[in-house]
Amino acid sequence: MSQNNGRSKRSEKGLLTPDNCAVAFIDHQPQMLFGTSNFDRQSIINNTVALAKATRIFEVPVVLTTVETKSFSGNMWPQLKAVFPERNPIERSSMNSWDDKNFVAAIEKTGKKKVILTGLWTETCIALPAVQMIHDGYEIYVAEDCCGDVSQLAHDNAMRRVIQAGAKPVTALSTMLEWQRDWAQRDTYGAVMDVVKIHLGAYGIGVEYAYTMVHGAPPTVFPEYEVPQPAVAHRVVNTEPIRIRRRKKE
């Protein structure tokens, strides 16, 4: 079978492959998550990190972008930053990423016409670029479980809008499995199973059970937990003793 970047090449025929697409992570920031209420917010973090790890496994081009970091939204989630420690997100002021020339240039630089969009919120940060990118000839996929919105109605309306425009809904897991495609592909199998066991809940526990109880493999060993020591930046300053001393001085 032909190779690409040391990986076995997957067949395409209308499907996503590691070689024919890119992924954009849009506005995964604290303030955007605060306003999300249609999905469980911890699940959005978990699914987003799972997809991010999958892009690393399969060497899929990634574009990271944030909006109004200093004035409103806060930094990109540290969980996501940890997957791309050497990457700095493209900073924007526009709600619509496709209005930002740096984002457009980054997407164009990937050379991919299939783009998977993820981000907060669905009705603006996903729907607006999705509609315009489709207009400009891109084939858009939306990793829906890595997105969220201020209400279920807002999210559902946004998904209907992008699907009507031609976008295709996917999930973090479906995307990773579409890239993997064949369990005989051992070059990525172990890394995919690692993501499954860490991020995919019951599926991951099922894999762990099958490995240990059916196949006799040793249990998965996670890093031993160590209680973090207090950091100066996180200490709570107690102002009460200061007030007491002032009263005594007076």
Polymer length in residues for the chain:
250
How would residue 100 be classed by pLDDT, with cut points 50, 70 and 90?
A: very high
For residue 233, count other CB atoms closer than 10 A to its CB. Answer: 5
Residue type, 102: N
- Dump pLDDT digits (tens) for 128-170: 999 999 999 999 999 999 999 999 999 999 999 999 999 999 9
Name the β-bridge partners of 24. Answer: 63, 117
pLDDT tens per residue across span 166-201: 999 999 999 999 999 999 999 999 999 999 999 999
Distance CA 8, CA 1 (A): 7
Rounded Cα distance, 214 and 207, in Å: 10
